[in-house]
Structure 1
Amino acid sequence: MDRVPGLSVRLRLTLSYAGFLMLAGALLLAVVWVFLLRYVPDVPAAERGPALRLMGPTREDLLRAFAPRAAEMLVFLLVFGLLGGWILAGRMLAPLARITDATRMAADGSLSHRIQLEGPQDEFRELADAFDRMLARLEAHVAEQQRFAANASHELRTPLAITKTLLDVARNDLDRDTGKLVDRLHAVNARAIHLTEALLLLSRTDQRSFAREHVDLSLIAEEATETVLPLAEQRGVTIETSGDIAPAIGSHALLLQMTTNLLHNAIVHNLPDGGTVQVNTAVRPGSVVLTVENTGDRLTPQLVSTLTEPFQRGTERIHSDHAGVGLGLAIVNSIAQAHDGTLTLTPRAAGGLCVAVHLPATPPHTAT
């Protein structure tokens, strides 16, 4: 960007330093002049008698001797102040120049540059460190959004490609059973709609554009359990619920979606037969906790750390009747963060996963 015409900060600081030095010098000379006047008689030389002439110079003599030297000193202070102020201002503003360069690079799209300012922990160092942290978060956010966009494009392209293939086959084979074709198209279209709705829900929670109300996580857990109970019975999974009343403030619909996603994942990623899912709500100092724990395969901490990334489905990208679209835990994490909460994933030693959602508790005087 072109700088607006006018005095630069460095020049203004230089003039300020020089002006302050000139003022200090003038005050010092004035003090010296006043001090010297105390010891010089205020009698013109022409009016002094022979006795007074032996007493030394008068104020007029002192002024003629002092004024040129004072003027020379002020000129020296002016030059010294301008030169020294210019150098000092340059050294003081050097960190600001580095921050400005980093800002311009970031504005041009380069987020990998860091200032890494050295020196004492002063205001410029704090500003540079804060700017570096901001760049790091922006870089990570942009990278995450790029991965999300690439994965979303891939996931949306798959049902569209399948639909195109089915329609091409139907057009080339007019004797093909249209009933099976319609059923297949309906399934593919339903999956595309499910993915689109999940993406919209994820965007909604990221923007925190929802109304908040008093809710009870224990009641939400019971409601979500009733919703997924048919799926659990179909897959031979037993759901056990327990816990205390857990009051919080948030969106009932989003928290229900969060709990349903957790239970759905716990059922789908479970043992082939005889698996269990335990749902518990608890109240802790300053927070309420929803815990969903399931049996299943043993998971490594490295794998668990990636499960909240969008379109991540366990150990591989699989598609089954209940595999979902890979946004379940990503939506859970987003809903928890939108409610100022945290999501914790812990692999169980015996196999399976323990998921805990911590949300701020409702203050006692506001609970209903």
Structure 2
Amino acid sequence: MSVRLKLTLSYAGFLMLAGILLLAAVWVFLLRYVPDQALIVPGSAGTLTGGVFPIRSNLLRVFAPRAAAVLAFLLVLGLVGGWVLAGRMLAPLTRITGAARLATNGSLSHRIQLPGRKDEFRELADAFDAMLARLEAHVAEQQRFAANASHELRTPLAISKALLDLARTDPEYDADEVIDRLHTVNSRAINLTEALLLLSHANQKSFPREPVDLSLFVEEATETLLPLAERQGVTIETSGDITPTIGSQALLLQLTTNLVHNAIVHNLPEQGTVWVNSSVRPKTVVLTVENTGEKLTPERASTLTEPFQRGTARIHADHAGVGLGLAIVKTITQAHDGTLTLTPRSAGGVRITVELPAAAPHADDR
């Protein structure tokens, strides 16, 4: 049976039960206060003859058919009224079901937008609309990411094919040059694939969590990238305190390395500077990376965390990257329940702030 039919039968049954109880109460009242017989005096109330007349037997004969008629009326009223009321009550659920069917068929742009006062159905519809909005945004982001990833992966493959075709059709072409260029293109494809795998791993949040110190990752990242900074003519300045948090050592080290690497590569052609600072707040730890560089608008800065979005032109082609550095930073930050903020500097460059939940102090540290 449908829910509407169940509700209809429930309404009708409840109404019948209430009618039976009411009629039973009336019958008990009549049995208690109406005598078995009545003595009729001749000449009273227009009667010509006197005598004793039965009352209860006549009462039962008169009351029973009328009670049955009332119960029949209540049954019909309960069924018809219950069907109408159930339909009105379940109308919002019908709209929600229709929207769910459209979403199942792939239409995520449809919204219920249930009118009326806020009740349980309205809250359900609003929650469903919010879910559809998130799904639509997620699917659009995944489609855009897949298209960009396909484009980025197709480029090195197309270059490799062109180099191989050239080497095959032109025997006099320098084989060593072909090998060197294939090595460069293949390395870029490998880096892109590894970045995509890292991004997928961080998205799944399937990693062990343990106490870590972001300041140690800052030291390791700056030491690793110092030769690159020297070749770029960029100075790195670090400062800060111990910043304990909970998370994955590998992912948070990758986050810090990506931020410092991005700040070095997107910098002034010469005499650029990168500032890296770690600090502690009451409930969070903060990692801030700033750099000099070209001026960015707030709108442009907000798009840099999108996959395959690149800021200012890099200085050297050998560090062209794959366009996933800040996208990985954003994903790792979200996987650790943190927030990522990009703010353009008035003098040029950008300030990137990562805020993560602070680790609870150990008993020995209190």
TM-score by length of 2: 0.94
Aligned counterparts of 1:71 and 1:342: Cα–Cα separation in 2: 71
Any conservation in 1 of the 2:36–2:54 contact (CA below 8 Å)?
Answer: no
Task: Describe how 1:205-244 pairs up with structure 2 within 5 A.
Answer: 205-244=202-241
Residue 159 of structure 1 contacts residue 188 of structure 1 at CA under 8 Å; is this kept in 2? yes
Q: Which runs of 5+ in 2 are unaligned?
A: 43-49
| Aligned Cα root-mean-square deviation (Å) | 1.9
Distance 2:174 2:221 in 1: 39
Q: CA deviation at 1:343?
A: 0.7
In 1: Cα distance, 2:166 partner to 2:261 partner: 35
Which position in structure 1 is the counterpart of 2:306?
A: 309
Match of 1:162 among 159, 162, 165: 159
Equivalent residue number for residue 13 of structure 1: 7
Identity value in percent: 74
Query: Residue 274 of structure 2 aligns with which residue?
Result: 277
1-structure distance, mates of 2:272, 2:205 = 35
Check conservation: 1:348, 1:354, Cα contact below 8 A: yes
**2:125 matched to which residue of 1?**
128
Aligned counterparts, 1:49-60, within 5 A = 58-60=55-57
Within 5 Å, which residues of 2 pair with 1:22-41? 22-41=16-35
- SS across alignment from 1:10: helix
Q: Secondary structure at the match of 1:38?
A: helix
Letter in 1 for 2:295: R
Do the aligned partners of 2:221 and 2:260 also contact (CA within 8 Å) in 1? yes
Mapped partners of 1:314, 1:238: distance in 2: 20
5 Å-filtered alignment, 1:1-368, equals: 7-43=1-37, 58-314=55-311, 320-365=317-362
Mark the CA change 1:307 to 1:56 in structure 2 (over 3 Å): closer, same or farther. farther
Partner letter of residue 148 of structure 1? F
Conserved? CA contact 1:247–1:367, under 8 Å: no
Give the aligned length.
Answer: 358
Q: 1:308 to 1:56 in 2, by over 3 A?
A: farther
TM-aligned CA deviation for residue 318 of structure 1: 10
- For the 8 Å contact 2:9–2:79, the answer to whether it is kept is yes
Structure 1 residues 324 and 292 mapped into 2: Cα distance closer, same or farther (>3 Å)? same
Deviation track 1:181-240 (CA, whole Å, cap 9, x = no partner) reads 110000000000000000000000001121111100011111111011111111111111
Q: Secondary structure at the match of 1:312?
A: coil
**Does the 8 Å contact 1:105/1:113 carry over to 2?**
yes
CA separation of 1:231 and 1:40: change in aligned 2, threshold 3 A: same
**Displacement after TM superposition at 1:288 (Å):** 0.5
Does the C-alpha gap of structure 1 residues 72 and 322 become closer, same or farther in structure 2, counting only changes over 3 Å? same
Conservation of the 8 A alpha-carbon contact between 2:291 and 2:349: yes
- Judge conservation of contact 1:303–1:315 (CA < 8 Å) in 2: no
Give the drift of 1:256.
0.6
Length-normalised TM-score, structure 1: 0.94
Aligned-residue offset at 1:34:
1.4
SS in 1 for 2:198: helix
SS at match of 2:319: coil
Give the C-alpha shift of residue 37 in structure 1: 2.0
Q: Taking structure 1 as reference, are residues 312 and 74 closer, same or farther at Cα in structure 2, changes over 3 Å only? A: same
Q: Which amino acid aligns with 1:165?
A: A
Runs of 5+ unmatched residues, structure 1: 1-6
| Equivalent-residue separation in structure 2 for 1:130 and 1:356 (angstroms) | 32
Q: Shift of the alpha carbon at 1:56? A: 7.1
C-alpha offsets along residues 33-92 of structure 1, whole Å, 9 cap, x if unaligned? 11222221135x8xx7979x7787611111111111111000000000000000000000
Could you tell me whether the CA contact under 8 Å between 1:40 and 1:57 is conserved in 2?
no
Residues 32, 184 of structure 1: CA spacing in aligned structure 2 closer, same or farther, 3 A cutoff? same
Cα separation, partners in 2 of 1:84 and 1:285, compared to 1, 3 Å: same
